[in-house]
Amino acid sequence: MQCVKLVNGGFVDKVIVFDELPERLIKNIQTREVSGFPRSWAKWLISIGSVRDVVRTETTLTPDSTYKHSDGRFYFRYTPIGKEPCFYVLQYTDVNADKETWRAIGEYLRMNVGPSVRLKEKIEDMAIALAPDSKTAIDIEPEEIPVIPVPNESVAPEKELVEHGEQILVEEHKKRGRPKKVAVGA
The helix/strand/coil state of 105 is: helix
The sign one gets for the Cα dihedral 177, 180, 181, 184 is negative
Per-residue pLDDT band for 167 (boundaries 50, 70, 90) equals confident
Q: Which long-range contacts (CB under 8 A, 24 or more apart) does 180-185 make?
A: none
Task: Tell me the backbone φ, ψ of residue 5, rounded to 5 degrees.
Answer: -105, 115
pLDDT at site 136: 84
Q: What's the whole-model pTM score?
A: 0.65
Burial of 141 (0-12, 13-18, 19+ CB in 10 A): exposed
Beta-carbon neighbour count of residue 150 at 10 Å? Answer: 21
- Checking if the pLDDT of 42 tops 60, the result is yes
pLDDT tens for residues 61-100? 766 666 666 666 778 888 888 888 888 888 887 788 888 8
pLDDT tens for residues 102-146? 888 888 888 888 777 788 888 888 888 888 887 888 888 888 888
